[in-house]
Amino acid sequence: MADVNIKINGKDYTVPAGSTILTAARMAGIEIPTLCYLKEINEIGACRICVVEVKGARSLVAACVFPVNEGMEIFTNTPKVIESRKTTLKLILSNHKRECLSCVRSGNCELQKLCHDYGIENEYAFAGVKSAYAIDNSAAHMYRDNEKCILCRRCVAACEKNQGCGVIGANDRGFDTHIACAFEKPLADVACISCGQCITVCPTGALSERDDTQKVFDALNDPAKHVIVQTAPAVRVGLGEEFGYEMGTVVTGKLVAALKALGFDGVFDTNFSADLTIMEEATEFLGRYTKKENLPLITSCSPGWIKYCETYYPEFIPNLSSCKSPQGMFGSVAKTYYAEKMGIDPKDIYVVSVMPCTAKKFEAERRESTAVEGLADIDAVITVRELARMIKKAGILFRELPDAQYDAPFGLGSGAGTIFGATGGVMEAALRTAYEVLTKEELTALDFHDVRGVAGIKEATYTIAGNEIRVAVVSGTANAGKLLEMIKNGEKTYDFIEIMACPGGCVNGGGQPIQPASVHNFRDIRAERAAGLYADDKALPVRKSHENPDVKAIYDEFFGEPNSHKAHEILHTSYVARKKY
């Protein structure tokens, strides 16, 4: 594409033709503020915060959607531009619930920052009627407070375009416009998959996860409870962002130290149960592949994907792996094997999960196949954001903590378990084990690059011990829908498919630290966090699930072998077809 010459604030620049003013300015080292714009999914020019002056134009233009052309002269900070942005912010504030001191997004709110930057946080220029809405906290994983909504429609775009659900949209018109479900149904009564992608793109506190931190604090303060915690693979590359670390930094040691400082009786690694998942799932796959039954096998680690499949494509339920997710497997072994090993009554064990995923809150409430009758496998799920709030509330100086190690017997996880947090990671982990099981030979080249990367749909074919295995890796449920339609139509045939609900996998989960649009639009959050996991994988002494000594021990002492009768009773589950409407 040819370049064009433009001027921004009186200086000459050469930028690619077709660039928007917003992108061109960023290339020039100038940040134009936005509220509604999200690259590729919400380019609607609606909020008018990004307006700039263009020489010769009759009015201010929206930088996020206005293309540059040869000789264009742009002014991003004139008095006229500043006054327009201030007026827009005042209009937004006139119908906004101002609870900044107690809002969950205080200090990380794009509206709050802009109001502070433009010096209008206390102005009430347009006092008058304000909208009133009840908070929708019907869902297991989140709430919606429309009195904090600014109608940017980012959530609507994420739900429809990335996730293929479209369960929310703009209802009514004019001053009464608000974001809601069809017919004003509560979120719990529609086909929401609990992925939380709407939360991660919201610029304000209008959307947030259900806060379960007090439940965890109460359990920690209950002397009758033996409280243990597990941390998912992607947590180690997410939590640091809440404490000023560069994106993708692995903070495992400090994560463990912080949890111990909070008072947990045992701090364990979900990487262990990710390895356990591979043992069960790889064995399940090899069994199905040999018998040519219910192929393709589709992974079951992502509860958002599972809910999507149950709701939108129930005909593929027989293809789902019957394995519980790593979170579910951990809870199951905690209340069986661990309880027996420690001599503790399962009812006195309180299992907490720290997850990058809001759908894990929904999953924890499922009761299809709990390990101990009458007891939940998981008692509480908190997101990475919730854990950060707990650490700050407890006065723990995260960056000053000396590194600590996970506890036994679930403290050792392999590199294969670590990469579960990135799209393609489950597939790669399974292939590492399946290769050695089938060939009886050591796999020396452990990196399966074809299934890595942030592309929404990836395909590969591997020949292992004379067997041709066709695989696909998908992230984002909109992409999952596309792939499943191709399978239904006979366009595609696979043996094994990994699907993650969130684009890029768990590193970009609905419970991860929230980054502003200025980061979303110009950096690949998914790739940067995933790079941290792949680096962690390479640094670990054990990189194959079947070589994890803790996993070997639990089979020797408890399960016998993968897919045994006992393993099926405790580590496997079932699914239900759900109503779409």
Q: Which of 148, 273, 506, 544 is catalytic?
A: 506
Distance between CA 335 and CA 235 in Å, rounded? 23
Which residue among the candidates 160, 363, 428, 498 is catalytic per the annotation?
363
C-alpha torsion sign, points 561, 566, 572, 575: positive
Choose the catalytic residue: 147, 160, 280, 281: 281
Catalytic-role residue among 148, 260, 360, 361: 360
- How is residue 189 annotated by DSSP? G
Q: Does a cis peptide bond (omega within 30 degrees of 0) precede residue 296?
A: yes
518: annotated active-site residue: no
d(CA 178, CA 135): 13
Spot the catalytic one: 241, 280, 284, 498. Answer: 284
- Is residue 36 annotated as part of the catalytic site, yes or no? no
Instruction: Tell me how crowded residue 101 is: count the other CB atoms within 10 A of its CB.
Output: 6
CA 148/CA 100 separation, integer angstroms:
10
**In sequence order, what are the beta bridge partners of 104?**
none
For the question of residue 368 being annotated catalytic, the response is: yes
Of 301, 309, 323, 502, the active-site residue reads 301
Q: Are 423 and 279 in contact (CB under 8 A)?
A: no
DSSP secondary structure string for all residues of 223-265: TT-EEEEEE-GGGGGTGGGGGTPPTT---HHHHHHHHHHHT-S
**Annotation marks residue 321 as catalytic:** yes
Q: How far apart are CA 289 and CA 277, in angstroms?
A: 18
- The active-site residue, picked from 40, 83, 315, 368, is 368
Q: Which of 19, 194, 300, 321 is catalytic?
A: 321
Distance CA 114, CA 110 (A): 6
Cα(300)–Cα(238) distance, rounded to whole angstroms? Answer: 22
Side-chain-side CA neighbours of 35 within 13 Å: the count stands at 22
Residue 192 falls in the annotated catalytic set: no
Give how far the C-alpha of residue 569 lies from the chain's centroid of Cα atoms, to the nearest Å. Answer: 29
Joined together, the tokens standing for residue 505 give 């996998």
Residue 226's DSSP bridge partners are 349
Point out the residues that are catalytic.
281, 284, 301, 321, 360, 363, 368, 506
